[in-house]
Amino acid sequence: MPLNYVVIAFQLIAFLFAISVHESAHAWMANRCGDPTARMLGRVTLNPIKHIDLFGTIVFPAICLLTHFPVFGWAKPTPVDTRNFRNPVKDDILTSIVGPISNFLVAVCATFLLIILKLSSSFGGEVVSGMVTGGVNAQSGSILVPVCLLLYQFLIINVILAVFNLIPVPPLDGSHVIRHLLPEQALRVYDMVGWIALLALVYLGGGILDRILTPFLFVFQYILVTVKI
């Protein structure tokens, strides 16, 4: 199978896992904070079928693949009833930010495993460094190549999902921190323009979104390249 098809398959696997981790983390924290709504609907699970949104999980990622854009999208929102929270402000913030935090944890784990593979042999070092520089030898026949490719996609997609969701634009997770600081009138305006700002950021922002994501990706890539025995 050509390498580009393998990468696409791994991107889809990593994406489905990333959104499942993200949404199940929301559901788990909401339940811990007193709201069992998502748990009762079976959303505390890594089963992607429970989290799939027709457009955000299937159609939009397919468009990304066809246009050679990194696989991106979203899952079905986790239902949360803030009236059940014991501390509405704190619990809403915790439930919101735990999603991105869970994705960062997956990215850290993927980075740790890649570092282990890199330090395991000289060839492992070449393969892991090739993930970052784009110089992967797909014809080597070693199991290290697909393993490193999959782990690297887990790293990249989870970082992208985490950082994007922390942008303080409604309805992204980052907005749940800002909204509790705003007076009621400003909050209504904030929510009204949220979707417009989000669409503008994704479809018109171009370089803006790239400039937001790149520094975070660079940190992980820098660690992979520089860590040595």
Provide the 10 A C-beta neighbour count for residue 208: 12
Q: Do the Cβ atoms of 220 and 158 come closer than 8 Å? A: no
The conformational region for residue 20 under phi > 0 = left, psi -120 to 50 = alpha, else beta, is alpha
Coil vs helix vs strand at 86 = coil
Question: What is the DSSP-derived secondary structure letter of residue 69?
Answer: P
Q: Can you tell me the distance from the alpha carbon of 171 to that of 167, in angstroms, rounded to the nearest whole number? A: 10
Burial class (CB within 10 angstroms; exposed 0-12, middle 13-18, buried 19+) of 6: middle
How long, in residues, is the chain? 229
Chain mean position to CA 130 = 22
Residue 68 backbone zone (phi > 0: left; psi -120 to 50: alpha; other: beta): left
Confirm whether 23 is a catalytic residue: yes
Maximum Cα–Cα distance across the chain: 62
Catalytic residue among 23, 35, 92, 173: 23
Token pair of 7, please?
Answer: 């990468």
Tell me which residues are annotated as active site: 23
